């Protein structure tokens, strides 16, 4: 079945550091790929998405590129802020019509001033 593997945290960075959170997937067909963010005590918010190979999703300084050849969708940000501290989830969408999301285990990011 479909699955998502993302790097386990926690990840601790200083403000303005470069961030990479690795995500790889296993899927049949051509899934859509997503990054969701969960701030402390809140629900999930869509951060960015890509629906086909070589698409780049971007939002709030975060980027991820859909790489079919390496089945990856790594999240990057050039300069993190304290306000980016959250749990980040990589996910894929089953293209079988149900649109259900399969999530990775989440990566907790803490950014220190």
Partner 1 sequence: DTAVSQTPKYLVTQMGNDKSIKCEQNLGHDTMYWYKQDSKKFLKIMFSYNNKELIINETVPNRFSPKSPDKAHLNLHINSLELGDSAVYFCASSAYNEQFFGPGTRLTVL
Q: Which residues bind partner 1 (CB under 8 A)?
A: 32, 36, 38, 42-46, 49, 51, 87, 89, 93, 98-103, 105-106, 108
Q: Which is nearer to partner 1, 8 or 54 (CB)?
A: 8
Instruction: Compute the least distance from the CB of residue 25 to partner 1, in Å.
Output: 15
Residues 6 or more apart whose CB falls under 8 angstroms from that of 24 comprise 4, 5, 6, 70, 71, 72, 73
Instruction: Compute the least distance from the CB of residue 101 to partner 1, in Å.
Output: 6
Q: Which is nearer to partner 1, 1 or 113 (CB)?
A: 1
């Amino acid at each position: 079945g479909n699955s998502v593997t993302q790097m386990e945290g926690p990840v601790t960075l200083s403000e303005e550091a470069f961030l990479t959170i690795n995500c790889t997937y296993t899927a049949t067909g051509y899934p859509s790929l997503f990054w969701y963010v969960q701030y402390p005590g809140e629900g999930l918010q869509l951060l960015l998405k890509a629906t086909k190979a070589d698409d780049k999703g971007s939002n709030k300084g975060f980027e991820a590129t859909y790489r079919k050849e390496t089945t990856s969708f790594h999240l990057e940000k050039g300069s993190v802020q304290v306000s980016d501290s959250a749990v980040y989830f990589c996910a894929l969408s089953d293209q079988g019509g149900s649109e259900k999301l399969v999530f990775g285990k989440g990566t907790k990011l803490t950014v220190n001033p």
